[in-house]
Amino acid sequence: MREKLFGTDGIRGLATEEPFTRKYVTILADSIGNLIKKKRNKSLLIGKDTRQSSNSIEKTLTNRFFENGIKVHLAGVMSTPAISFLTQKFSCDLGIVISASHNSYEFNGLKFFNKYGEKLSDLEESFIEKQYFYIRSRVSNYFSLKERRLDNSSMKKGKIIKINKPSHIYKKKIFSYFQKVNYSLNNPKIVVDCANGSTYKLVKNIFSNLKTKLIIINNKPNGKNINYKCGSLYPKNMINVVKKRSADFGISFDGDGDRIICCDEKGKVIDGDKILACLAKYQKKFLVIRNGIVGTLMSNMGLENFLNGMGINFYRSNVGDKHVYDLMNKKKCNIGGEQSGHIILKDIIPCGDGILIALILFSIIKGLKKKTSEIFNLYKSYSQIQKNIKLKDSNNPQSKEINKLTKLYNNKISNNTRVLIRFSGTEPYIRLLVEGEKISKVKVLANKLQNKIETVI
């Protein structure tokens, strides 16, 4: 099997293992640098999340880029969508986010943006990947490069620039779309869960303009508590505070701020599907839906039926916000998203942005003057059971037996029941989704398939 570096969203793995130890980050920097040297400005921008390994990875990358003659803009701790925007703002050839998104602190990763703030093409990812494995195979002791410096001993050194107040630049961009909105929302109580991640400063800075009773939780990162029983993967945390404090609305982000999951005043979860339905139904001030809405193979059939009932086309991409964006381009749509909370408004920013979506939801709530439980109660969801089944051999996940199961079951609707079996692109798991109108049938089929999968992996 060909060695792989990239998953569904950049590069990701344990921070103590290849490619995130110092030696391999140096190789990564040279591999990325070889792509940058082909670009016009030979500049890039780096941001990071709050996990403890992000600082050392940033330092190694920055120093190596500097040695290779590349101009490096440092944004510090910033959300992934903010880095997408800042990459465009500062005319950089590449944006890099040091983050493992929703994963725990033991993991880290690199996400990449091109000069337009879009995820890299498969061709560009392949170039970096090939460079990485080529350099790794040819250099036995890479730490001796301070003396050897490969082929760039006479190269002019780069430049390191620390961006002044990047959060204010991002804030100005975001609020430029909401100049006509009055955010005096009759003083509602709103709970915001920052997941101890990269939004922990941005939230206070940006949401302070909303004139609401803001209750911010999990905004004290210590390097190890990012995503720990908090954020968009653990909505119960947000729900408990909403109920305890009698709040009107709850918001939770993931570790790098490109996802958003909400809850209403009763504590009912509002996932990415419900948010897409809400945008389609209510948000006409900022959004004109073009050619339909893009979801994924994980999207609830209730959402599809709801949109079709409104006369809106619904398209399904493979799982992953990059695939959503690619299908949006193919179908010429401007709105798309995932059940997990990546919501992309292409006319504003070409990636998921939790803070942006939160602001739009605030404007909807303000305009309708209804309880959030009424606003988001737009369709009846089909019952879904999702299971994560750990691979015993993560180095050889594409087993013939699993592939047979996917061909037999995937996306074949029988008795109003649908199945999706897929390999995770970020973790050593098989993801299983079973969906249908009757929960009893869904449970039986989910258990049956889980047992089948576990016997062959």
Q: Which helix (H) or strand (E) holds 321?
A: helix 321-331
Looking at the chain, how many residues does it have? 457
**The pair of three-digit structure tokens given for residue 316, joined into one six-digit string:** 């399904």
Short-list 253, 411, 406, CA closest to 317: 411
Q: In the block, which residue shows the tokens 């991409």? A: 317
Report the pLDDT value the prediction gives residue 269, as an integer from 0 to 100.
98
C-beta separation of 93 from 44 below 8 A = yes
Q: Which residues of 81-103 are buried (b: 16+ CB within 10 A; e: fewer)?
A: bbbbbbbbbbebbbbbbbbbbbb
Establish whether 104 is a catalytic residue.
no
| pTM strictly above 0.75 | yes
Report the pLDDT value the prediction gives residue 435, as an integer from 0 to 100.
95
CA distance 170 to 149: 37
The pLDDT averaged over each successive group of 10 residues in the chain (457 residues) is: 83 96 96 94 97 98 97 98 98 98 96 97 96 89 51 72 97 80 67 98 89 92 98 97 97 98 98 98 83 96 96 95 96 97 96 95 87 96 94 65 86 83 84 94 93 86
CATH topology of domain 383-456: TATA-Binding Protein (3.30.310)
Three-class DSSP labels, 69-103: CCEEEEEEECCHHHHHHHHHHCCCCEEEEECCCCC
Report the pLDDT value the prediction gives residue 147, as an integer from 0 to 100.
43
**Residue of 53, 54, 79, 101 marked active site:** 101
Q: Which residues contact 72 (CB under 8 A, 6 or more apart)?
A: 43, 44, 45, 46, 62, 65, 66, 158, 159, 160, 161
Q: How many CB atoms lie within 10 A of CB 411?
A: 11
Residues of the chain with CATH 3.40.120.10: 11-167, 174-375
CA distance 262 to 249: 7
Residues of the chain with CATH 3.30.310.50: 383-456
Pick the CATH number of 174-375 from 3.40.50.10490, 3.40.120.10, 3.40.50.1820, 1.10.10.10: 3.40.120.10
CA distance 54 to 99: 7
Query: Domain spanning 11-167 has what CATH number?
Result: 3.40.120.10
Residue 281 CA: distances (Å) to CA of 277, 310, 377, 416: 6, 8, 11, 25
CA distance 397 to 453: 12
Would you call 123 exposed, middle or buried from its count of C-beta atoms within 10 A (0-12, 13-18, 19+)?
exposed
Q: In the block, which residue shows the tokens 């940058």? A: 36
